[in-house]
Structure 1
Amino acid sequence: MLKQWNHLYLARVCVEAQTPISIQSGQAEMSYDTSLIRDANGLPTLPATSIRGVLRHLFQAQFDEAQTHILFGYAQTNTKEPEDQTSRIQISWGLIHDKHNRPVEGLVYPSEDADFLDQLAQSQPIKRERVRLNHKGCAAGKDENRGKFDITACPKGARFTFEIKYWSDSANDTHWEELMALLQKPNFRLGSSTRSGFGALSIQQIESHHFDLKNPEDVAKWCALDRSVAINNTNTQPPSPNEQAQDSVRIRLALKADGFVRIGGGDVPMHEASDPADLRMQSESYIQWTNDQGRFSKRKPLIPASSIKGAIAHRTLYHSNRLKGQFADQLTDELFISAATREHHTELTDLLGYAKNDSDEGRVGKILIDDIYLAENAPTSQLWHNRIDRFTGGVIDGALFTEEVLFEPEIEFDLTILDADSLSDLAQQALKATLNDLCHGRLPLGAAGSRGLGSFTGEYHWPEHTTSQAKGEQ
Structure 2
Amino acid sequence: MAEASVLANGQMACITKKILLEGTLSLDSPLLIGTGLTAREARQETDMQVLKDKKERPFIPGTSLAGVLRTLLEDEEAALLFGSAERGEKAGGAQSAIDVEDVLLEDAAIVVRDGVGIADFARTSLAGRKYNYEAVERGAKGRLRMTVTVRRAHAEKGLEEAVQTLADRLAAGVRLGALTAKGFGKVSAADVRISTYDFSDFDDVRRWLFREDAKCIAHGSKAAGKKRAGVFSVDAAFAIRRSLIVRENDVDEKAAERKVKSQQKKSGADFLIPGTSIKGALRHRALEILTILKKPAAALDGLMGCSTDARRQKSRFLVDEAYFRKGVKPQAHARNRLDCFTGGTVDSVLFTDEPVWQEKPGEATLRLHYEIENYAPWEAGLALYLLRDLWQGAIPLGGESSVGRGLLEGIAATVSFDDEVLEIGAAGAVEKAAAEKLEAFAKALRDMEEEAKEA
TM range (shorter): 0.7 to 0.9
Q: Distance in 2 between matches of 1:137 and 1:181?
A: 46
1:428 to 363, 380, 383: 380
Q: Secondary structure of 2:126's partner?
A: coil
Q: Distance in 1 between matches of 2:177 and 2:313?
A: 16
2:84 to 69, 74, 79: 74
Residue 437 of structure 1, CA deviation: 1.2
Residue 49 of structure 1, CA deviation: 0.8
1:289-309 Cα offsets, whole Å, 9 max, x none, are xxxxxxxxxx43212222222
Q: TM-score, normalised by structure 1?
A: 0.75
Q: What's 1:284 paired with?
A: 267
Q: Distance in 2 between matches of 1:76 and 1:468?
A: 44
Q: 1:240 and 1:67, CA in 2 relative to 1: closer, same or farther beyond 3 A?
A: closer
Q: Distance in 1 between matches of 2:143 and 2:280?
A: 33
1:104-138 Cα offsets, whole Å, 9 max, x none, are xxxxxxxxxxxxx5xx3x6xx22222222222252
Q: Distance in 1 between matches of 2:111 and 2:126?
A: 26
Q: Secondary structure of 1:129's partner?
A: strand
2:355 to 398, 405, 418: 405
Verify the 8 A CA contact 2:330 2:357 in the aligned structure 1: yes
Q: What's 2:221 paired with?
A: 240
1:86 partner amino acid: Q
Q: What's 1:149 paired with?
A: 131
Q: How does 1:73-472 map to 2 (within 5 A)?
A: 73-76=83-86, 82=91, 84-97=93-106, 117=107, 120=108, 125-136=110-121, 138-142=123-127, 145=128, 147-168=129-150, 169=152, 172-185=156-169, 188-213=174-199, 215-225=201-211, 239-241=220-222, 243-247=225-229, 248-269=231-252, 272=255, 274-285=257-268, 299-323=269-293, 325=294, 344-345=298-299, 348-352=300-304, 354-375=305-326, 378-408=328-358, 410-419=364-373, 422-425=375-378, 427-459=379-411, 460-463=413-416, 468-471=422-425
Q: Distance in 2 between matches of 1:401 and 1:91?
A: 53
Verify the 8 A CA contact 2:77 2:158 in the aligned structure 1: no
Q: What's 1:106 paired with?
A: none
Q: What's 1:290 paired with?
A: none
Q: Secondary structure of 1:457's partner?
A: strand
Q: Secondary structure of 1:132's partner?
A: strand
Q: Secondary structure of 1:173's partner?
A: helix
Q: Distance in 2 between matches of 1:439 and 1:93?
A: 42
Q: Distance in 2 between matches of 1:187 and 1:317?
A: 30
Q: 1:386 and 1:96, CA in 2 relative to 1: closer, same or farther beyond 3 A?
A: same
2:68 to 54, 74, 82: 54
Verify the 8 A CA contact 1:277 1:382 in the aligned structure 2: yes
Q: TM-score, normalised by structure 2?
A: 0.78
- Are residues 1:23 and 2:36 paired? no
Q: RMSD between aligned alpha carbons?
A: 3.2
Q: 1:418 and 1:431, CA in 2 relative to 1: closer, same or farther beyond 3 A?
A: closer
Q: Secondary structure of 2:125's partner?
A: coil
Residue 457 of structure 1, CA deviation: 0.8
Q: Distance in 2 between matches of 1:367 and 1:197?
A: 7
Q: Distance in 2 between matches of 1:193 and 1:369?
A: 11
Q: Distance in 2 between matches of 1:304 and 1:138?
A: 17
2:377 partner amino acid: S
Q: 1:349 and 1:80, CA in 2 relative to 1: closer, same or farther beyond 3 A?
A: farther
The worse-fitting range, judged by mean Cα deviation, of 309-318 and 299-308 is 299-308
Q: 1:47 and 1:276, CA in 2 relative to 1: closer, same or farther beyond 3 A?
A: farther
1:58 partner amino acid: L
Q: What's 1:38 paired with?
A: 52
Q: Which has the higher contact order (CA 8 A, sep 6+)?
A: 1
Q: What's 2:453 paired with?
A: none
Unmatched runs of 5 consecutive residues or more in structure 1: 98-116, 227-231, 286-298, 327-338
Unmatched runs of 5 consecutive residues or more in structure 2: 1-8, 430-455
Residue 263 of structure 1, CA deviation: 1.0
1:257-307 Cα offsets, whole Å, 9 max, x none, are 11111111352349757324112321121xxxxxxxxxxxxx432122222
Residue 430 of structure 1, CA deviation: 2.3
Q: Distance in 1 between matches of 2:218 and 2:89?
A: 45
Q: 1:38 and 1:190, CA in 2 relative to 1: closer, same or farther beyond 3 A?
A: same
Q: 1:14 and 1:402, CA in 2 relative to 1: closer, same or farther beyond 3 A?
A: same
Q: Distance in 2 between matches of 1:179 and 1:386?
A: 61
Q: 1:233 and 1:176, CA in 2 relative to 1: closer, same or farther beyond 3 A?
A: closer
Q: 1:268 and 1:279, CA in 2 relative to 1: closer, same or farther beyond 3 A?
A: closer
Q: 1:467 and 1:208, CA in 2 relative to 1: closer, same or farther beyond 3 A?
A: closer
Verify the 8 A CA contact 2:32 2:136 in the aligned structure 1: yes
1:190-249 Cα offsets, whole Å, 9 max, x none, are 2111121111122132343222335544322211115xxxxx699596553253224334
1:75 partner amino acid: A
Q: What's 2:451 paired with?
A: none
Identify, as 1 or 2, the structure richer in helix.
2
Verify the 8 A CA contact 2:334 2:351 in the aligned structure 1: yes
Q: Secondary structure of 1:31's partner?
A: coil
